[in-house]
Amino acid sequence: MVGFAVAFLVFLLAPPFLPYRFAPYPLINWADVVDLATPLVLIPLYWLLLTDSPVPPSRGWIIAFLVLAAAWVDGHGIHLAANAIGHRLKGQTGPALDLTEFWDEKFGHYLWHTAVLGLSALVLIRHARAPAPAERPSWTGLIAAAVYGFTLFLIGNEGGTAPLVVPFAAAVTLAAWPLRRRLLPSPVLAMFALGYALALAVFAIWFVYWGGRLPQFSDLGWIK
């Protein structure tokens, strides 16, 4: 669980901190090159979480996973390409910039993050429906939840998808309440259920701190 959460953190947050030109092809940054590996690493990890059960997933579960995984890759790819082009258009105005802004910040981010939430829900539901684990409570799930929840806040806030992430996090938090006794013995349930609760709490703190706003970090000048 911690491995998935750390990979989620690294691959979704590393690109903004790599604004250096890629020497073999200077029109793109190292951020774009690193970001190419994001779905190649994370989608298989989602699959491993989904199938981490004695009972193999049925055809319905597999189809649902494939649809969400395709949406994940589609949204991420649109974001990656449009974001790379948008970097070359900074300081300009016109329809080209507006179009890249739409595909990146609007359509791409919302499609991508919808699939991020959908895949987590798929894994969460499958593990919630499995027999209660007999293991003792583990801190692994808490560590993974802290990393996943904070990462989710960061990408939801900077990605401009808080209107999508916040209601979903609230819904997961409420739905997971009846499962509270099963969370610590199940690292997967703990990572997603407690992770969404943490993300919701951080969004609330951010909202209150900024007087009823959710400013993006780039708007504050914290990242470029």
Distance CA 224, CA 83 (A): 12
Count other C-beta atoms under 10 Å from residue 222's C-beta: 11
Q: Residue holding tokens 């499958």?
A: 126
Residues 6+ apart with CB under 8 A from 200: 166, 169, 170, 173
pLDDT confidence of 154, banded at 50, 70, 90? very high
How many C-beta neighbours within 10 Å does residue 142 have? 20
- Is residue 162 predicted with pLDDT exceeding 90? yes
Q: What is the pLDDT of residues 61-114, one digit of tens each?
A: 999 999 999 999 999 999 999 988 887 887 777 788 888 889 988 999 999 999
- Work out the average pLDDT over 167-196: 89
